[in-house]
Homo-oligomer: A and B are copies of this chain.
């Protein structure tokens, strides 16, 4: 039985929904991006900053770096946020029985043998369909929106982990939710977590 399940996901693939289902079926705590950011906030970062920069690497946007300044003790605020989130994820894992979505948790907890690392992806058309349905239309074309989100996650992951985001070797199981369906993805993860 795996005590910690990390779920990384492409934007619009339904990874968060799958994670929630898994947490419910396992009776585990559910920590998504927002919750971890909230905790980091309590650690002393403003809500606005955390919301804006939580998924950015300093390498991504030179202006943001210059803008927020050198932050705490000469460390960029992005790096400070990364450290805080890392500490929080390590603590949550120590408590066990949880599902953690996003935040490079697969990397942060890579050496824990009591964890199962999952990546969820789907074809672009399926993700566009989902994003438009969930969040509605915006001025920005949905294809561009998805590409931007994925790029940010990829750069952030690369910056802090030096690994390629979405490489199967980083995960125990990866699933195409567009082809398999969200509910079945959740069931497969639950079954696997229970027997391993």
Contact = CB atoms under 8 A, between A and B. Distances in A.
A1 to B, nearest CB: 14
Contact of A173 (B166, B167, B169, B180): B180
A32 to B, nearest CB: 21
Interface in A149-196: 164, 166-169, 171-176, 179-180, 184, 188, 192, 195-196
A195 B188 contact: no
A119 interface: yes
Interface residues of A, number: 21
A48 B188 CA distance: 44
Main secondary structure of the interface of A (DSSP, over half): mixed
B180 A172 contact: yes
A121 interface: yes
A176 B167 contact: no
Contact of A168 (B119, B188, B192, B195): B119
Interface of A: 10, 119, 121, 164, 166-169, 171-176, 179-180, 184, 188, 192, 195-196
- The 4 A-B residue pairs whose C-beta atoms are closest, nearest first, are A168-B174, A174-B174, A172-B176, A168-B168
